[in-house]
Amino acid sequence: MYTNEFPIIACSTGLDSNTAIGIIRISGFENISIFDNFLTLNSKNIVNRTAHHCNLINGKEHKVIDDIIIIYYENPNSFTGENLLEIHCHGNLLNINRIIDLFISDNICVLAKPGEFSYRAFKNKKLNLSQIEGLDNFLNASSSLMLDEGISLLNGKLKSEYLELHNLFLNFRSSIDLLTDFAEDIGDQQAMENLKQKFSKFKRLVNSLAYRSNLNTEHLSQAKVTIFGQTNAGKSSLFNKFLGKNRAIISPLAGTTRDYISEYIKLDDIFFELVDTAGIRKTSDEIEEIGIQKASELIDESFYKILVINPNLPFNLYNNEKFNTEYDLLVVTHIDCLKCIVDLKKLKYKKILFTSLAPIEPILKSGPIGADLIKDLIGSIGPDKLVYNFSDIQNIITDKYKQISNKSPIINKRHRININNINKLCVEFSESLVQDDIGIMSFYSQKFSFEITELIGFIDCEQSLNNIFDNFCIGK
């Protein structure tokens, strides 16, 4: 996929739009002197890890191209572990591309592929696999939790915990070696007691990580809040209410929304992807049917599900399996026909009946019905399951997110598998302690070693690397 044969160049600040400053990085050159023909600054005067102001020139034409700042990072103390030069230039895209083309045309370097800088950092042992995964999470995060886990894997608490796990394992493994080779010197009983103590410390951390790996984090990494329900129930109105603007088209015609639309919203400093889906109904329209199928898929993969129904619609909505799926919030709109409210008990509502927003686009008349009246009609639901203000719906979404995220869940799938494997080995090893069989203990020591080094990323797993670097942007 990549080679280390040539220096590489890329714009790390992106090439999507003009910016005040663009940062171009060049990595893998042998000596800073190769830039003498391009800078109005002698390379002998360039100090490592220090910003220098100079002009960038076309060596052949002696023409000033830009007024720049350069920073030189000498190997191995750079991000890639190679000699690396950062050029801070004016961020006009034409200017950035011209500078990149200048160095490529003069055979100074080749254009980097996506993720190639990070790949070189990995190959030069500046980052391990788990840190690379953290960088991947951080760069491509679609939720606040992914951002937090990304930085924690890169250089934060989770990285420290993994390294502590590795250190505890080394201590634990050395106690097995001590029991095997030096039991006669210190005594079998003392050697075994030492082993049990070291294993106990190791196991406590494994149990803690396993608990966090097995939290219900399904769909938490993307944190979609999906609005679904009947056609013409008021889903798009609720979607617009969240955004505070008319983003979705609203119409009294059923089936107006044929495909899903989404926007990112910020609730209590947490970002969610809000999704408005096509109304679910039986239809002969092929395009609408595709939209309904996509809506079903989005419901299944959502972190928070909001079911919107209009009790005044004539067909029997209770027989539709999607209306009987697990959902977090029931929103009732168009409450004009009071007798229909009693029928809501047939729905498998989970926690809350939301009423204060109703009616949205009322069919018969306007104006919400008071909460007290609704409470009397559906008293069996209980006042703790009613929401009266729109701000309440925002709070219960963030509360669900916080309840899980405050427990520091581990959401990386590969890590969760490794940690659960280690936890399983702990259970099996505990049984081997009862048997007091050194051979079995040594066997499990090897299995522990493989799982832990794979978790931390000391093992070069090409398949994992390829999957990760496919997501990276150019210049990182």
What pLDDT score does 68 carry?
Answer: 96
Q: Where in the chain is the domain with CATH 1.20.120.430?
A: 130-215+411-457
CATH tag for 130-215+411-457 (out of 1.20.1440.20, 2.10.260.10, 1.20.120.430, 3.90.470.10): 1.20.120.430
- Candidates 183, 177, 70, 81; CA nearest to 127 is 81
pLDDT digits (tens, 9 = 90+) for 336-355: 544 444 455 555 544 444 44
The pLDDT value recorded for residue 469 is: 64
Query: CATH second-level architecture of 224-403?
Result: 3-Layer(aba) Sandwich (3.40)
pLDDT at 221: 67
Question: pLDDT value at position 117?
Answer: 92
What is the pLDDT, as a whole number, of residue 178?
73
From 128, 224, 149, 161, select the one nearest 412 (Cα to Cα): 149
Which CATH superfamily, name and number, covers 8-127?
Answer: Probable tRNA modification gtpase trme; domain 1 (3.30.1360.120)
Q: Which residues of the chain have pLDDT under 50?
A: 249-258, 315, 317-318, 337-342, 349-383, 460
What pLDDT shows up at residue 303? 84
Convert the chain into a string of H (helix), E (strand) and C (coil).
CCCCCCCEEEECCCCCCCEEEEEEEEECCCCHHHHCCCECCCHHHCCCCCEEEEEEEECCCCEEEEEEEEEEECCCCCCCCCCEEEEEEEECHHHHHHHHHHHHHCCCCEECCCCHHHHHHHHCCCCCHHHHHHHHHHHCCCCHHHHHHHHHHHHCHHHHHHHHHHHHHHHHHHHHHHHHHCHHHHCHHHHHHHHHHHHHHHHHHHHHHHHHHCCCCCCCCCCEEEEEECCCCCHHHHHHHHHCCCCCCCCCCCCCCCCCEEEEEEECCEEEEEEECCCCCCCCCHHHHHHHHHHHHHHHCCCEEEEEECCCCCCCHHHCHHHHCCCCEEEECCCCCCHHHHHHHHCCCCCEEECCCCCCCCCCCCCCCCHHHHHHHCHHHCHHHEECCHHHHHHHHHHHHHHHHCCCCCCCHHHHHHHHHHHHHHHHHHHHHHHCCHHHHHHHHHHHHHHHHHHHCCCCCHHHHHHHHCCCCCCC
Residues of the chain with CATH 3.30.1360.120: 8-127
N residues, the chain: 476
Give ranges for CATH 3.40.50.300 in the chain. 224-403
pLDDT tens profile 18-71: 999 999 999 999 999 999 999 999 999 999 999 999 999 987 777 899 999 999
Which pLDDT belongs to residue 28? 95
Contact 208, 257 (CB under 8 A): no
pLDDT tens readout for residues 59-88 = 777 789 999 999 999 999 999 999 999 999
CA-to-CA separations, 194 to 177, 191, 406, 436, 439, in angstroms, rounded? 11, 5, 35, 14, 18
